[in-house]
Amino acid sequence: MTSAFFRTPAITNYKNPTTAWKEESSTSGTFEATSIEKILQTAHLRGQLTAIFAAARDEYFEDGMDSEFSRDLVDFVSRYGLSAVKVLREFISDLTLSSETVYEALRWIGKINDVATRNERLRLLEESLRSPVASLRDGAVLGLAWMDDPQVMRSVQQALLKETNWLVQKSMHHLLEQLKKTASEATPA
């Protein structure tokens, strides 16, 4: 005797995921092949970024020096642009990764010289100012210092008001001084 509690309801709207996009796009136009392509591209980028972070597990990072990880990260963002930054945002928020590696990534995100991804990278670094991990907030401060964009002053000021780690507070104060100087130099006299 089968209990009603254990019965599986019948699946009435099941569509094979490999062919559903064809059916939908041919009938209603709501789901296009480009959506599948985006999903596959995102999966590919996640795989590449996973490999980059995995290779960095045993790497030693030295302040002021590039590393295999930093070169791979810069190449990844340069090659894949905004899509790479969006996938990178997911990795940065993953607290299971080595905080030392994520700290290094945040520093280098600010150093990347790519106009097309600049706003997304700024946003990612601003979001990282709210990380629960102090070293990641510090990495975000260093990344923002490299970008030297006064438009983030408000975000840094708000983060400073909530900051409890005195070393990160000190870094934030230095960043604010730098950004104020940059803003004053950009303002015509």
Alpha-carbon span 18 to 65, nearest angstrom: 46
Can you list the pairs that 38-47 forms with residues at least 24 positions away whose Cβ atoms lie under 8 Å?
41/83, 42/83, 42/86, 42/87, 45/80, 45/83, 45/84, 45/87, 46/87, 46/90
Can you list the pairs that 19-26 forms with residues at least 24 positions away whose Cβ atoms lie under 8 Å?
none
pLDDT at 189: 58
Q: How many CA atoms lie within 13 A of 67 on its CB side?
A: 20
- Do residues 146 and 111 touch, judged by C-beta distance below 8 A? yes
pLDDT at 53: 92
Kindly give the residue spans of alpha helices, DSSP state H, lying in the chain: 17-27, 33-55, 68-92, 99-111, 118-128, 134-147, 153-162, 166-186
Q: Yes or no: is domain 31-186 CATH 2.60.40?
A: no
pLDDT at 157: 97
pLDDT < 70 stretches in the chain: 1-33, 188-189
pTM (2 d.p.)? 0.78
- Tell me: the pLDDT tens digits for 153-166? 999 999 999 999 99
Tokens of 41: 């591209």
pLDDT at 75: 95
Alpha-carbon span 92 to 139, nearest angstrom: 11
* Whole-number Cα distances in Å, 50 to 39, 42, 57, 80, 113: 16, 12, 11, 15, 23
pLDDT at 94: 82
pLDDT at 6: 34
pLDDT at 101: 92
- Tell me: the pLDDT tens digits for 17-58? 443 333 333 444 444 557 787 888 888 899 999 999 999 988
Alpha-carbon span 137 to 131, nearest angstrom: 6
* Whole-number Cα distances in Å, 19 to 3, 41, 74, 84, 124: 35, 18, 37, 28, 36
